[in-house]
């Protein structure tokens, strides 16, 4: 559900950048006030896991479409809404800059759609209401599925509204909405089951991570090594090898666009769009999760499956590492600011 710049007008793209920037500032303030340094490693590893998971497109039977994990609800359950939003911004920022996945103009909208709705709507209003303060495996499964369905439906609705308000594409609101919501309902069901599996694993390995997160208590003193190792191994295996088996079908957004227009991708030729596309082309070191020289070969051999490819493996491992570093640096930066602020107000004797 990564929007391309061709769907976004500069005005709407700028507005979504502003909304995302304001939400990021709020989240940074809340995470800084929490001062939970012990959560920083989990932010990095969870971010790497979500990055790798988003590479794993799965086929939606009988549709010719595919979907991938969004990961926003997983992050919210493990980290809390504010830290989850910051980590999701790190994931999507790395994808857009280094892998040309999602447009730069649309980056604000993508972070908002995939980060805000799961973390600030689905998590507190659905997942937590069902799971409560003392999680059980059954409640986790029900809460994860319903929360993922709601978060993804709201994200898909956001894409349609933002595209319609932009007014630069040939996608009528009702028709586009009629394609986006049903296909993302199917994708959301799979995401909910995967989310439940991850959260149940954490619940069995170290349930205190979940209970302390719900009660807004720091993770200091909680042994989280098993969870960190489990998520890190899953990220490396998923990005390094399982990504070879990703579906080659268009994702839910591309499929919906194709159903309405007959094309999976649209083009926008305004100056801003062309300039941002040029920036992305210069910055992206592994565009489309492959070595640049492999682009022509891949286009000639799209039918091969599984796509055993060194470029894909490198992208999965390097991208996960970049997200891990970015999320940890965000946490460290907020910790330093919190420490500095505390030092400033500490009375001198």
**Domain architecture of the chain: domains with CATH:** 5-342 (1.10.1760.20)
In 23-103, at which residue ranges do the beta strands (DSSP E only) sit?
58-60, 65-67
How far is CA 136 from each of CA 21, 128, 131, 143, 218, rounded to the nearest angstrom? 36, 12, 7, 10, 21
Mean pLDDT of the chain: 91
User: 320 near 48, Cβ under 8 Å?
Assistant: yes
Q: pLDDT of 266-306, one tens digit each?
A: 887 678 999 999 999 999 999 999 998 755 455 445 557 77
- Reported pTM: 0.93
How far is Cα 301 from Cα 241, in angstroms, rounded to an integer?
19
Which pLDDT score is estimated for 308?
Answer: 86
Confidence of residue 309 (pLDDT cuts 50, 70, 90): confident
In the numeric block, the tokens 């996945």 are attached to: 101
Residues 6+ apart with CB under 8 A from 140: 131, 196, 199, 200, 203
Percent of the chain scoring above 90 in pLDDT: 82
Determine the pLDDT at residue 297: 52
pLDDT at 304: 73
Whole-number Å distance between alpha carbons of 91 and 108:
13
- Element of type H or E holding 232: helix 225-240
**pLDDT value for 342:** 47
pLDDT at 330 over 80: yes
């Amino acid at each position: 559900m990564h929007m391309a710049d061709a769907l976004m007008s500069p005005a709407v793209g700028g507005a979504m950048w502003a909304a995302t920037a304001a939400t990021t500032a709020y989240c940074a303030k809340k995470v800084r006030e929490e001062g939970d340094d012990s959560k920083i490693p989990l932010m990095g590893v969870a971010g790497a896991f979500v990055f790798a998971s988003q590479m794993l497109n799965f086929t939606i039977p009988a549709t010719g479409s595919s979907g991938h994990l969004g990961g926003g609800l997983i992050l919210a359950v493990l980290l809390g809404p504010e830290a989850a939003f910051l980590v999701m911004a790190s994931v999507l920022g790395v994808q857009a800059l280094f892998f040309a996945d999602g447009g730069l103009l649309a980056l604000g909208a993508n972070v908002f759609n995939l980060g805000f709705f799961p973390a600030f709507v689905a998590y507190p209003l659905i997942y937590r209401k069902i799971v409560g303060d003392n999680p059980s495996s059954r409640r986790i499964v029900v809460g994860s599925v319903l929360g993922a369905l709601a978060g993804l439906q709201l994200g898909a609705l956001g894409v349609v509204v933002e595209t319609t308000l932009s007014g630069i594409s040939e996608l009528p609101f009702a028709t586009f909405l009629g394609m986006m919501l049903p296909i993302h309902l199917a994708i959301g069901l799979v995401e909910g089951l995967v989310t439940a599996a991850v959260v149940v694993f954490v619940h069995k390995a170290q349930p205190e991570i979940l209970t302390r997160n719900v009660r807004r208590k720091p993770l200091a003193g909680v042994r989280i090594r098993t969870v960190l190792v489990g998520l890190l191994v899953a990220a490396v295996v998923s990005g390094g090898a399982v990504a070879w088996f990703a579906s080659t079908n268009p994702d839910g957004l591309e499929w919906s666009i194709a159903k309405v227009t007959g094309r999976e991708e649209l083009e926008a030729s305004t100056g801003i769009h062309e300039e941002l596309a040029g920036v992305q082309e210069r910055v992206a070191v592994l565009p489309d999760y492959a070595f640049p020289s492999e682009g022509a070969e891949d286009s000639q051999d799209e039918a091969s499956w599984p796509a055993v490819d060194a470029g894909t493996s490198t992208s999965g491992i390097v991208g996960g590492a970049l997200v891990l570093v970015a999320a940890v640096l965000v946490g460290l930066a907020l910790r330093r600011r919190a420490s500095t602020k505390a030092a400033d107000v500490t009375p001198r004797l």
